[in-house]
Structure 1
């Protein structure tokens, strides 16, 4: 469960983690080093002045236990006397990010100078000593150099600079004697009690290994992958999977692939070549659209479907997405896709296998599922909201959100909050950790039919649609109203392309601004939504400006007698389905606004006829739901005059 309901410590409804800009530079440096671009890394370090946080992990060194010193690159360089390599690597290590104090740096420089002199390179040793003298002068010799008596309170601290100068002088004087060995060394040249040079090397190699962290490999790539996964989880990026058309003789065996452009933020479906044909009726976008009923989910007598939602794809990538239905008897049922949704999902949901269904005390009015599919929320006509775990059926939260019926639900992108819309004219946000109301979004003059979150570039937005004919866009953090859109969808003065829907730019004509039935948030085009009023025209709108980008005209009378009642969009956002009051379903291409086809008998095939055999009335479709992957559209009617409750899937 989420752990943060405190809005003062969160931004856009999500917990925030501050990342220093220098750490981003260090990630790039590590990536360049791993890729062998050492010169580019050096230039970046020089230009930015930012040092690396540690050594890049090697294939032979993955852990940091005391028994693994021999696998450390620092230990290997030090024990083999490669002080040039050690010093060049230390140059770009940020001491503030490592346990690399000035004393250890000075000890390494001291060892390098002493070994140069030991090898007979006196002039080079003295030259190196003069270069690093300020560093050595600022560090005191330790008991490894002088013995434990050097640390006594009455002793005078000896700087490394004076110690190195003294040892160099002693070495030069000793080897200047005619009978001296060319390898003769002064007492304690490499340390207390005549420490051998190899022992001193091993000591420094271990100290460097302990001081300098080892950076894990591919850290930048891993973080980018996690960022993409998070954006998919929050819904900012679509879930694009390969799709093979089924039961279609023309495209059988042909592979159709949905592709997402990561740079432009758009998706499309690759064309499928079906032999050599000049059939002009093929859709330009080459995406399958619904044509006929596929399956019927039967809820039983004296029961009507009142809410429905598909669960996200399973983690195995098989594309199996269960259907969740809520009904007028207060029950919530999860249907198995393997059985074409004719049976409940019992193979991995033990509570359904025991006939222990999820349920509420009143008719279900809304359902919502978290982006990862683990949490399911339901609301009823009494204003209660409950949240369950899908895998166990355990009720995690139950809260009275409103005093009247709840019409819509939505999880926040990170599933830490739940948003409710009610007939009392408000939308409210609740934290799932404490079950308390965090914000209330006000301003509508009538029922709120739609609510949802939109992840923008700088804000987490809350969008609501109401029976008062307006769409309100709120700041998700402050609950402040940012924009009010009032589309005109009836009469002669309907809103046109490139016009603004901002309410303050239009006259107050309530008859031309009918109830908002549906608002669909699209990923393609990015930061847009389809607003569907109960009128004869729907609108593709830019969320940031309220400008109409495209319109979708219904089929039938232009006087508004045949209005839109429900809508949904395909997973690629290329196809828009809108059902009209006369029971027909208009299929639109969202890229052009063109009506591709009309399914005339959609409502009559999706709802049972009236109990009255003489009645010729067409039952109105209450809502549409689209499968997260496949070209399946579910439709149901909540009218209580039906013979039996059902939800029909079209393919």
Structure 2
């Protein structure tokens, strides 16, 4: 096994110091040196530094030594020689000011008063005499050479931009090994795609492209990647594929897709979820198994065979990405530890299929929706049911199954519930109905709230995509025809006005609120695989899962003094 490489903390500090120096952040550099007691002591060229001393270019020498940590005796010798040469040039006022203000010369006065007094006599003399200045028989040139040799002992030369070069090499290696999050830009500090500002919520009913599937394949689940740059699909034949969210083309920049080594299950992929950092994908199968994937590399990191008896209907990651919440047709929701590979919690109590499960915004509770017509709120700490939510029913004899729910990020104490029927309900965790949103036509079959929780988009069984205002409950735009065939579900982009819908006959369609998106209309790609899932979940055989700088170039990777790549 390869031995570990140890990096001294002082070396890390020096990398930061070099970066500060190159960026002209002198005060920050001085503060870091003082606080850590670590010296940078590097120059661009030792030969150049020695030449500056030998030529008496003291302004350049002092500029470089200002950021160095040198022995007091060496600094005193340097300043002593500078005062001698100022005396020779009869720059007496400058020399006296240096004698008063330079820390090294004040130290000379305390530790070697005779040497300090000798300098004072040189400044008081009516004329400069080499024999008085160098009583040991030396001269200016030899003294300069002695000072240069003395200072050079403590100096080293390192290539410029070491911090950025190392970052570039690390990023290149992560890209080579498939460990980088998907996308062409990277927030180096977070090791994730750079956060993108959310758009104001707008009705998203303008067709903006498509992903087409072959005659032998159809989508059963779809989700957007965490950065929204990709649409991930799962199909009835078990394939999982990653598509460009703008063009609808298969992303062949992923090595495993370009070589046809796709992620896959043995049966239909019913649900998908990505971790918040976008690095990990979870997929749930009709056979009850769950797989966890490195999304950039396409490798399987963890398997949970038989996680449920029957199909897995819903998946959701904890915020830190260490645990995975699943729901299934065995009427149970479970939490699985990704490190241990074991099921660590179970939430039992529903009388029928659990179609969807999601974490509350604070992560302290789990909300589940079931075919028994109820949603339940569970304590993460105890696994106990703390509340049961029952939406108003249109029938006195039967409870409509809860086929989708969504916990609202900007309404942390409220949840959207969709029982199969004409209405979606906004309810509190205590069970109170805040608002009923009723479709003017068709039974709602899937839903997803907008990124800022101002709107909710729904699909109806008459194949319409509709948008409603959550505050007023009114329809926010005209309905759009979602498909000529059955429409199974939809997924909402995490930050933009962009939606993906999927169906058995229509593949995946992309929708936008911007007219510019119409330029992508008709873009398509053939696939062995399929689509679904988002911030809400459906029961129609598919579930939605929650959702002028210094520049260094290293091996084709360019990093600037900003923190994105």
Once the 2 structures are TM-superposed, how far is the Cα of residue 380 of structure 1 from its aligned partner? 1.6
Once the 2 structures are TM-superposed, how far is the Cα of residue 634 of structure 1 from its aligned partner? 0.9
| TM-score relative to the length of structure 2 | 0.58
Number of the residue aligned with 2:57: 80
- Give me the whole-angstrom Cα distance separating, in 2, the residues matched to 1:437 and 1:64: 52
| Residue segments in structure 1 that go unaligned for 5+ positions in a row | 1-18, 57-62, 91-97, 137-159, 240-259, 261-265, 270-284, 493-510, 608-620, 638-644
2:457 equivalent among 564, 569, 577:
577
Q: Does 1:325 align with 2:234?
A: yes
Number of the residue aligned with 2:181: none
Indicate if the aligned counterparts of 2:252 and 2:258 stay in contact, CA closer than 8 A: yes
Number of the residue aligned with 1:515: 402
- Give me the whole-angstrom Cα distance separating, in 1, the residues matched to 2:432 and 2:262: 44
Q: Does 1:625 align with 2:532?
A: no
Change (3 A) 1:449 1:299: farther
Indicate if the aligned counterparts of 2:74 and 2:147 stay in contact, CA closer than 8 A: no
Number of the residue aligned with 1:387: 292
Number of the residue aligned with 1:409: 315
| TM-score relative to the length of structure 1 | 0.51
1:197 equivalent among 143, 146, 149:
143
Once the 2 structures are TM-superposed, how far is the Cα of residue 167 of structure 1 from its aligned partner? 3.1
Once the 2 structures are TM-superposed, how far is the Cα of residue 578 of structure 1 from its aligned partner? 1.6
Give matches, 1:184-223, under 5 Å: 184-186=132-134, 196-203=142-149, 205-206=151-152, 209-210=155-156
RMSD: 6.2
- The secondary structure found in structure 1 opposite 2:58 is coil
Once the 2 structures are TM-superposed, how far is the Cα of residue 349 of structure 1 from its aligned partner? 6.9
Q: Does 1:307 align with 2:214?
A: no
Give matches, 1:124-273, under 5 Å: 124=96, 128=100, 161-162=110-111, 164-168=112-116, 181-186=129-134, 196-203=142-149, 205-206=151-152, 209-210=155-156, 233=192, 237=195, 239=196, 260=197, 267-268=199-200
- Give me the whole-angstrom Cα distance separating, in 2, the residues matched to 1:386 and 1:183: 86
Please give the per-residue CA displacement for 1:472-523, whole angstroms capped at 9, x wherever unaligned. 4777xxx56799665553159xxxxxxxxxxxxxxxxxx999736121655x
Number of the residue aligned with 2:418: 533
Which structure has the higher relative contact order (CA within 8 Å, separation 6+)? Answer: 2
Change (3 A) 1:553 1:64: same
- Give me the whole-angstrom Cα distance separating, in 2, the residues matched to 1:177 and 1:290: 90
Once the 2 structures are TM-superposed, how far is the Cα of residue 443 of structure 1 from its aligned partner? 6.6
Change (3 A) 1:54 1:402: same
Change (3 A) 1:516 1:198: farther
Once the 2 structures are TM-superposed, how far is the Cα of residue 450 of structure 1 from its aligned partner? 3.2
Indicate if the aligned counterparts of 2:488 and 2:503 stay in contact, CA closer than 8 A: yes
Change (3 A) 1:362 1:228: closer
Indicate if the aligned counterparts of 2:449 and 2:492 stay in contact, CA closer than 8 A: yes
- Give me the whole-angstrom Cα distance separating, in 1, the residues matched to 2:137 and 2:98: 16
Once the 2 structures are TM-superposed, how far is the Cα of residue 567 of structure 1 from its aligned partner? 0.7
Q: Does 1:588 align with 2:473?
A: no
Number of the residue aligned with 1:649: 509
Number of residue pairs aligned between Structure 1 and Structure 2: 463
1:289 equivalent among 201, 205, 217:
205
Indicate if the aligned counterparts of 2:81 and 2:144 stay in contact, CA closer than 8 A: no
| Residue segments in structure 2 that go unaligned for 5+ positions in a row | 1-8, 169-184, 512-565
Q: Does 1:555 align with 2:522?
A: no
